Amino acid sequence: MASMFRELLAMASSITTQFLRLTRLEWTRSIVLRHLKTILWQRPKTLNDMPYDVVFVLSYYLSVRDLCNLRETSTQLSSLVRDRSIWLLALRDILEVRPIPRLSFSLDEMDLDEIMTATLRLTTLDRKLRGVDQITTFKIARSFDADGLIPVPLPGGRHFLTLQNSERNLVVHDWGADTLRDGRLLIPPSEHPIYLWRAVPVSSTTVNVVVVSLEELEECDDLGEPLPRTHITIYQCNADEGTSKQIDYFSVNPKIWALFVDTTHLALLWDDPDDCQYTYIRMYTKGLQTDIMRLKDPQCPCRGSITMISQGHFIVVNGDGALHRMFTLPSMRPIASTHVDDPSVYHPHIWRSVQGGDCLQTPRVTSLQPASSDSPPPKFIVWTGRCRHIMTLSSLDGADVSYNVDRQRMWPDAPFSVGDDETSSMGRFSGVHHLPDRSIRLFALPITYPTSRGPMRLDIAPSSLHIQVTELVCSSLLENEFIYELSYDEESGRLYIAYEDAITADRRIVLGHLSASKLSPPQPLM
């Protein structure tokens, strides 16, 4: 028993000695601390450990360029950022300040790659329009010898139209076609020669096309000239599928000079020998119309343009830009027949300006201050290729009052000329203008919707009225050629130009586009 007790005492002494030895060790080297470190230590947090909901909230405040940089940080972050809802929010923000109707109609139908591609394309185009990414020329994609043909793009830039066969056939061509012989009819052949047409997108793949053709009647006027009758037909077309259907048709006796169309309204403007202008407005989607309105004014009007600026107001601009007038939209009534021949009614303007300006054949009207759809904007801009007119409404009481116009030249260095040697192609947020000096001016319109996150997405100032103008050199022009006609598609950044030889009158079609993107293209994860 005594020996067992001595063994237990020796064991206890050994344990006590070992414990005292451990306590005498340096603390950082102790076995206990090493075990505690193993249990409590965690790897430092990085961006790769960020939860998706945090990434989503942060992406709400990032520009498109920041999203691209974040996507290239790591594979895990790339998978987090590659989310449809993140890029859809960014595209919606951009479309508020750089509107593309065709894209706005198709957002719900677009997949992730389509949304990313559209977002990067608009961001890249905006940077080039504002001069952030400098360009001095455009790249020629292809050229066709085309006698008398003028290319006009359909929204989206994937197709363009030419008017052929004595101006009776609208033929659609693919952007990538190698020859114009592969074109196909967009609408049935017209019974009478076509001299005006417009297209407006109504869905992601569908456009409404307004075709204006002219018939010479057997009756003659006092000078023995045949009386004209204008036929207006509206088709709903799908260029991808090659389908079309007529959705509206009517005719008027005079020859019209100006046409405006959107997804709801169709407005016509024409002159009268008695120095009056007449207009007729039709809500073709709802089967409603106004009476023919006589826009009498002491100053002699000549052609000009008509533009709807709200659901309840429209403006008419004189052909030489010297007279701007705003009108209220009159009461609508159901359409009764296809021939519009009711007696005209006098329709006074509610305000006007008589300050001189540029020829506003194809103006773009943008509101500087948000307004309801029924009231006129108190401040807005009328854009042309040469000038901009910042207009301020001085009264809303319906009286015949003047309004202020601040007219500014878009590029004071270019000599001013009047005539058919220059035209503009105006979009919703940009435009192009060609000059007699064989150059093209590309410009971006300022942001007029500063409360949107769109400027943040595009890395631009929200409220500047400065216009960045870029001169594009037409390097493909031959010695005797000049630009006969020019069209521009904002969504794709593609240019559609008709060159004509000044000596032989030969014409060729040139398709070009702005230089390649500097942003990283969207790459699918492997």
Please report which confidence band the pLDDT of residue 525 belongs to, taking 50, 70 and 90 as the band edges.
very low
**Quick one: tokens of 349?**
């303007």
Confidence of residue 366 (pLDDT cuts 50, 70, 90): confident
Burial label for 96, CB within 10 Å (0-12, 13-18, 19+), is middle
User: DSSP labels for 235-250?
Assistant: EEEETTTTEEEEEEEE
* pLDDT band at residue 226 using 50, 70 and 90 as cut-offs: confident
Residue 191 three-state SS? coil
The pLDDT confidence band at residue 419, using thresholds 50, 70 and 90, is very low
Q: What share of the chain in percent tops pLDDT 90? A: 25
Tokens of 416: 């001013």
Give pLDDT tens digits for 139-148: 888 888 887 8
**Cα–Cα distance measured from residue 123 to residue 464, given in angstroms and rounded to the nearest whole number:** 18
DSSP one-letter code for 322: S
Looking at residue 516, what is its pLDDT? 45
Question: What 3 state SS string does 31-79 have?
Answer: HHHHHHHHHHCCCCCCHHHCCHHHHHHHHCCCCHHHHHHHHCCCHHHHH
Query: What is the model's pLDDT at position 526?
Result: 29
Other Cβ atoms closer than 10 A to 335: 16
Per the CB < 8 A criterion, the answer to whether 515 and 128 are in contact is yes
**How open is the CA angle 233-509-127, to the nearest 5 degrees?**
90
pLDDT tens digits, 284-294: 999 999 999 99
- Which stretch of 27-41, 292-306, 405-419 has the lowest confidence by average pLDDT? 27-41
User: Given pLDDT bands bounded at 50, 70 and 90, which one contains residue 445?
Assistant: confident
Strand partners, 497: 486, 510
Q: Do the Cβ atoms of 304 and 360 come closer than 8 Å?
A: yes
Render the burial of 307-332: b for 16+ CB within 10 Å, e for the rest.
bbbbeebbbbbbbbbbbbbbbbbeee
CA dihedral 40, 43, 44, 47 (to 10 degrees): -140
Taking residues 203-213, report their average pLDDT.
Answer: 93
Average pLDDT of span 383-391: 75
What integer pLDDT is reported at residue 49 of this predicted model? Answer: 67
Average of per-residue pLDDT values in the chain: 80
Identify residue 167 by its one-letter amino acid code. Answer: E
Please report the pLDDT score of residue 283 as a whole number: 94
Please enumerate in sequence order all residues whose Cβ is within 8 A of that of 262, keeping only pairs 6 or more positions apart, or say none. Answer: 200, 308
pLDDT at residue 523, rounded to an integer? 43
The reported pLDDT for the residue numbered 13 is: 64
Strand partners, 404: 392
- What digits encode the pLDDT tens for the residues 32-46? 556 555 555 555 566
pLDDT at 4: 59
Confidence label for 420 from pLDDT (cuts 50, 70 and 90): very low
- Distance (Å, whole) CA 516 – CA 506: 31
Three-state DSSP class for residue 125: helix
Higher pLDDT, 14 or 67: 67
Measured distance CA(213)–CA(190) in Å, rounded: 8
| 332 pLDDT higher than 80 | yes
At residue 481, what is the residue type?
A: E
Pairing of strands 430-434, 339-340: unpaired
Q: Which residue has the higher pLDDT, 343 or 339?
A: 339
Q: What pLDDT was estimated at residue 238?
A: 93
Question: Residue 110: how many CB atoms within 10 A of its CB?
Answer: 18
Q: What percent of the chain has pLDDT over 70?
A: 76
Instruction: Pick the range with the lowest mean pLDDT from 246-260, 331-345, 445-459.
Output: 445-459
Of the ranges 35-49, 180-194, 376-390, which one carries the lowest mean pLDDT score?
35-49
pLDDT at residue number 2: 56
In whole angstroms, give the CA distance from residue 500 to residue 485. Answer: 9
Mean pLDDT in residue range 399-406: 64
Residue 281 has pLDDT above 90, yes or no: yes
Tokens of 440: 């093209």
Domain ranges of the chain: 55-147+411-521
Of 474, 473, 477, 455, nearest to 464 (Cα)?
455
Pairing of strands 243-252, 226-238: antiparallel
Higher-scoring residue by pLDDT: 412, 381: 381
pLDDT category, 27, cuts 50, 70, 90?
A: very low
Q: Which two tokens stand for residue 422?
A: 């220059």
For the residues of 447-491, what is the DSSP string, one character each?
P--TTSSHHHHHT--SS----EEEEEE-TT--TTEEEEEEEEETT
Q: From CA 92, how far away is CA 98, in angstroms rounded?
A: 10
